[in-house]
Amino acid sequence: MMILSGDPPRSRVLSALLIVIVALLALAPFLFPGAKPLNVATKICVFAALVASYDLLLGYTGTVSFAHTMFYGIGSYGIAIALYTLGPTWTAVGAGLACGLPLAVLLALAIGLFSLRVQAIFFAMITLAVASAFLVLASQLSGLTGGEDGRSFQLPELLRPGTVFAKGVFGITVSGRTLTYYIVFVGAAAMILALLRVVNSPFGRVLQAIRENRFRAEALGYRTVFHLTLANCIAALVAAFAGALNALWLRYAGPDTSLAFSIMLDILLMVVIGGMGTIYGAIIGAVIFILAQNYLQALMGLASSAAADAGLPLLPGLLHPDRWLLWLGLLFIASVYFFPTGVVGRLRGAARQ
Amino acid sequence: MSDLLTLAGVHTHIGRYHILQGVDLTAREGRTTMLLGRNGAGKTTTLRTIMGLWPASSGTITLAGTRIEALATPDIATRGIGYVPETMAVFSDLTVKENLILAARTGPLDDAQLAWIFQFFPALKKFWLSSAGTLSGGQKQMLSIARAIVEPRKLLLIDEPTKGLAPAIVGALIDCLAEIKRRGATILLVEQNFRVAEAIGDDVAVMDNGRIMYTGDMPTLAANTALQEHFLGLSLEAHQ
């Protein structure tokens, strides 16, 4: 209970789901040694932390920000630029983190101080403008960022796929790639646990009070701009660290993988599907979304073929793999409609009854 | 007895509306000042202006000798003002316990103070770990008042605490407010219920059209039907 900061999942089904997810992710290199499954597992880890940090903003303070991918991108580019320019050393990794993370926090501080005093909608617009400007900047400063092509780089020796630590451990080769995966896994887990600690602290309670009624919280003596800005900075720090982990895994940072607005939309969907203001929802949302994104097309292909073999009318066409985005969209509309409080909210509600 | 709170020529504009039009008001230390008046007279605006939620456009507000009209709401609150808005202002997503912890700014909850609060509002003890959103209207009002008195304050601003409550709960609230008063608190209380006003008020100020029209002591107003009809448009006798 201590590790969860006194905030357990509060639903047996949810607890079981989380245990299964964490166990599968912890053993992923041994259970799913292929390249694609391991990529999916890593993406789930990175996005679970990234979405949890966004949940701190949206779910706990009610603040809508469109700059979250910018912080994620700063973390990614910090690592990429440092390793590209300084070479594949641990010093470069440290330098990337030492530049990227504070830069993300400073930008979040500046945005917060300038715009969290105004109404929520203006804050959202300002973050949108800043994030757009940063995307353009990253594309234009090609000498530093690699422009539209991004930056590929080499990892330190220890993290390279070619570095073999052991062969035949449960049938797989333990390599630098395995170590990188566990760095991502442990890093993401640490970030989520830290966020649980934050939201269950007195500071987290003030954030919830601000979400409910900002003026009421001020009438109790709380400086809401300070609390919102600090939450924004913590969220930016975690997002930047998640970006750094993602860059380490991909050995690349570019606009499409770290700054694109489609990532922001994915984060929003994952928060809503999982359940806002729960932190655990980030894990569930990331798992559902990323699995659907990666495997729905293949599943539909199988279903379409099966329907065609059975001679069923209409179904083969409806389930054609090319229509996977349509079904993904319908799936999300249905999940928001049937689970307005997200999967976690629904499961907790059922447990209360 | 010294003046704890003084408003002098306070004007407040909300958008293009000129709500407070030169309010002069005093709350004396250790006494309960009732702020009465018809709906729309500016009573709630007066309390919100004192708290800085709607800043005064001109005039001065002095708390214990310090000007506060230019301060931000959190700074005003931390100078020792407890504010109970009229809308049963609890934080619904937090538990009763968390609501009180949030209000205890100077440190952990004081057990003796809590025991005292539970004497008047036993429901708060019963629903200690329940979400405040699940409480009834009366219980929410109790929690709202409990939040204001969970630690000592120089001044309590309470806005229509009995609004919409069942008579039995109103009785408990009167007992509680009387006890808070007996302990020496200074209270500025907006109230439409004259039974409550008469039971706990020491001083009275009557507002109309954004101005104070009458100030005096409560027993004098309570005994004078003509004054009540003149300033309030009805009499306590008729109301009771």
Residue B1 has pLDDT above 80, yes or no: no
For A215, nearest residue in chain B (alpha carbons): B53
CB contact under 8 A, A223 and B98: no
For residue B75, is pLDDT > 90? yes
Do the chains contact at B77 and A219, CB–CB below 8 Å? yes
pLDDT digits (tens, 9 = 90+) for A139-156: 999 999 999 999 999 999
Q: What is the DSSP string of A77-133?
A: HHHHHHHHHH-SSHHHHHHHHHHHHHHHHHHHHHHHHHHTTS-HHHHHHHHHHHHHH
Rounded to a whole number of angstroms, the distance from the CA of B47 to the nearest CA of chain A is: 11
How many A/B residue pairs have CB atoms within 8 Å?
Answer: 50
- The region of weakest confidence among A305-309, B129-133, B160-164 is B160-164
| pLDDT band at residue B234 using 50, 70 and 90 as cut-offs | low
Q: Residue B117: is its pLDDT beyond 80?
A: yes
Give me A243's structure tokens.
Answer: 């970006």
Would you call A219 and B147 a contact, using CB atoms and an 8 Å cutoff? no
CA nearest B89 in A: which residue? Answer: A216
What does the pLDDT read at residue B86? 83
Amino acid B236: pLDDT: 47
DSSP helix/strand/coil, B14: strand
Q: Which two tokens stand for residue B105?
A: 């700014």
CB contact under 8 A, A218 and B83: no
What domains are defined for chain B? 1-80+153-234 (3.40.50.300), 86-151 (no CATH)
Nearest to B51 among A213, A219, A222 (CB): A219
- Please tell me which residue of chain B has the smallest CA distance to A213: B91
Q: What is the pLDDT of residues A88-112, one digit of tens each?
A: 999 999 999 999 999 999 999 999 9
What is the mean predicted confidence (pLDDT) over A125-129? 93
Six token digits for residue A304: 């379409």
Residues 200-229 of A with CB under 8 A from B: 202, 205-206, 208-209, 211-213, 215-216, 218-224
- Domain spanning A12-352: CATH 1.10.3470: yes
- Whether residue A215 and residue B73 make contact (CB cut-off 8 A), yes or no, is yes
Chain B positions in Cβ-Cβ contact with residue A219 (cut-off 8 Å): 51, 53, 73, 77, 83, 85
Straight-line distance from the first to the last Cα atom of chain A, in angstroms, rounded to the nearest whole number: 23
pTM: 0.90
pLDDT value of residue A234: 98
Encode A71-81: b = buried (16+ Cβ within 10 Å), e = exposed.
bbbbbbbbbbb
A199: left (phi over 0), alpha (psi -120 to 50) or beta: alpha
Among A259-263, B4-8, B163-167, the least confident range = B163-167
Q: How confident is the model at residue B137 (pLDDT cuts 50, 70, 90)?
A: confident
- pLDDT band at A240, cuts 50/70/90? very high
Taking a C-beta distance cutoff of 8 angstroms, is the pair B235, B225 a contact? yes
- Cα end-to-end distance, chain B, whole Å: 32
8 Å CB contact of A212 and B105: no
Q: What is the pLDDT of residues A162-171, one digit of tens each?
A: 999 999 888 8
Element (H, E) at A138: helix A120-140
Partner residue facing B73 (CB), from A205, A208, A219: A219
Mean pLDDT, chain A, rounded, equals 94
Do residue B102 and residue A215 have CB atoms under 8 angstroms apart?
no
**Residues near A311 by Cβ (< 8 Å), separated by ≥ 6?**
none
**d(CA A237, nearest CA chain B) in Å:** 26
Query: What does the alpha-carbon distance between residue A301 and residue B134 come to, in Å, rounded to a whole number?
Result: 48
Confidence of residue B176 (pLDDT cuts 50, 70, 90): confident
Q: How many other CB atoms sit within 10 Å of the CB of residue A42?
A: 25
Within an 8 Å CB–CB cutoff, is residue B78 touching chain A? yes
Confidence of residue B63 (pLDDT cuts 50, 70, 90): very high
B152 touches chain A (CB under 8 A): no
Instruction: Note whether A216 contacts B147, CB cutoff 8 Å.
Output: no
**What's the whole-number average pLDDT of chain B?**
89
Contact by Cβ (8 Å): A225, A113: yes
Asked if A220 and B147 come within 8 Å (Cβ–Cβ), the reply is: yes
Tokens of A102: 């504070």
B51 min Cα distance to partner chain A (Å):
7
For residue A247, the one-letter residue type is A
Q: Over the range B61-90, which residues count as b (16 or more CB within 10 Å of their CB) and which as e? A: bbbbeeebbebebbebbbbbbbbbbbebbb
In a mutagenesis test of the B interface, which of A205, A220, A228 is the best target, namely the one with the most B β-carbons within 10 Å? A220
For residue A180, pLDDT over 80 is answered with: yes
Chain A within 8 Å of B74 (Cβ-Cβ)? yes
Alpha carbons B190 and B212: distance in angstroms, whole number: 13
pLDDT confidence tier of residue A120, bands split at 50, 70 and 90: confident
